[in-house]
């Protein structure tokens, strides 16, 4: 397990006040010049018009874990707790695409991402106390068919793709492991895999993104940091975050040069919150690196 290196105490360029219970799924929408993210337990979707300091807050019909943009549409493809749907955030309408039978299994959807071919991937997680590995990873194909691609998962996280779309990264958070899979075309099946990186004790790999250099940026829940890994899986940089529960990352702004980091207040006691008053807020950093444009789900 590689120890943290090249640690930077970089001050945020801005902090967006949100006080999220669990801020997640942060996503840059270049078409609308909007930064989106969700507060999962609060059933709220946040929309920040770039250059402003206060987000709009949109109520959602159930817990929204992750989402992607849809080509030629104002809707989002959304992984709600109970299933995957086409969601219109302004009208509040939901058109369900896939709802697995979760009754009594203690499962919900979690992390998701649109891949370079315009498919949407979303994984489930075990959220009760059983600590089983009943979670699964699904892929919504461009024709709308939903395929199960993996099982034996506890908490699906860290979905992102290499710049050329040939590799998929995925983390099962409790295992402290990020894996890299060959993505086989046509069809987007998962091929050979390898261990890409392992996180330090107490730091769990959460949301991730890929930059223009092909490096992976991983928010590390419990570790209070975001780690940049080279394409070979070596730690390149470590950015300290002023709260112990960073949850997801993306690159945003017209030049895709602002690293945005969501965070969580969940399970932090009053003493911890006094030390970490910005827990649950969104942190914006100038890290001298550019990201990649988000792909859009294509039907």
Q: Which residues are known to be catalytic?
A: 206
Tell me the helix, strand and coil percentages in the chain, rounded to 5. 5, 55, 45
Quote the CA–CA distance of 105 and 117 in Å, as a whole number.
32
Whether residue 110 contacts residue 156, with contact meaning beta carbons closer than 8 Å, is answered with yes
Strand-pairing partners, residue 69, are 76, 296
Three-class HEC string of 226-254: EEEECCCCCEEEEEECCCCCEEEEEEECC
Which H or E run includes 274? helix 270-275
Sign of the CA dihedral with 30 first, then 155, 280, and 288 last: negative
């Amino acid at each position: 397990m590689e120890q943290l290196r090249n640690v930077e105490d970089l001050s945020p360029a801005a902090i967006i006040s949100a006080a999220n219970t669990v801020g997640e799924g942060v996503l840059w929408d270049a078409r609308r010049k909007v930064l989106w993210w969700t507060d999962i337990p609060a059933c709220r979707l946040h929309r920040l018009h770039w250059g402003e300091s206060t987000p709009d807050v949109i109520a959602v019909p159930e817990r929204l874990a992750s989402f992607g943009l849809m080509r030629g549409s104002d809707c989002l493809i959304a992984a709600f707790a109970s299933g995957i749907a086409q969601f219109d955030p302004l009208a509040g309408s939901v058109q369900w695409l896939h709802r697995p039978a979760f009754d009594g299994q203690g499962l919900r959807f979690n992390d998701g991402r649109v891949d370079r071919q315009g498919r949407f991937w979303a994984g489930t997680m075990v959220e009760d106390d059983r600590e089983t590995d009943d979670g699964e990873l699904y892929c919504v194909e461009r024709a709308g068919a939903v395929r199960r691609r993996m099982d034996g998962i506890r908490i699906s996280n860290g979905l992102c793709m290499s710049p050329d779309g040939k590799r998929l990264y995925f983390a099962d958070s409790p295992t402290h492991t990020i894996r890299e899979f060959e993505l086989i075309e046509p069809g987007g099946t998962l091929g050979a895999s390898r261990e890409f990186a392992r996180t330090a004790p107490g730091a769990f790999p959460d949301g991730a993104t890929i930059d223009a250099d092909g490096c992976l940026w991983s928010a590390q829940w419990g570790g209070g940091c975001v780690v940049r890994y080279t394409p070979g899986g070596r730690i390149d940089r470590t950015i300290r975050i002023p709260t112990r529960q960073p949850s997801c990352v993306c690159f945003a702004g017209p030049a895709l040069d602002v690293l945005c980091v969501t965070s969580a207040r969940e399970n932090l006691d009053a003493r911890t919150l006094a030390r970490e008053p910005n827990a649950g807020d969104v942190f914006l950093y100038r890290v001298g690196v550019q990201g990649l444009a988000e792909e859009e789900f294509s039907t």
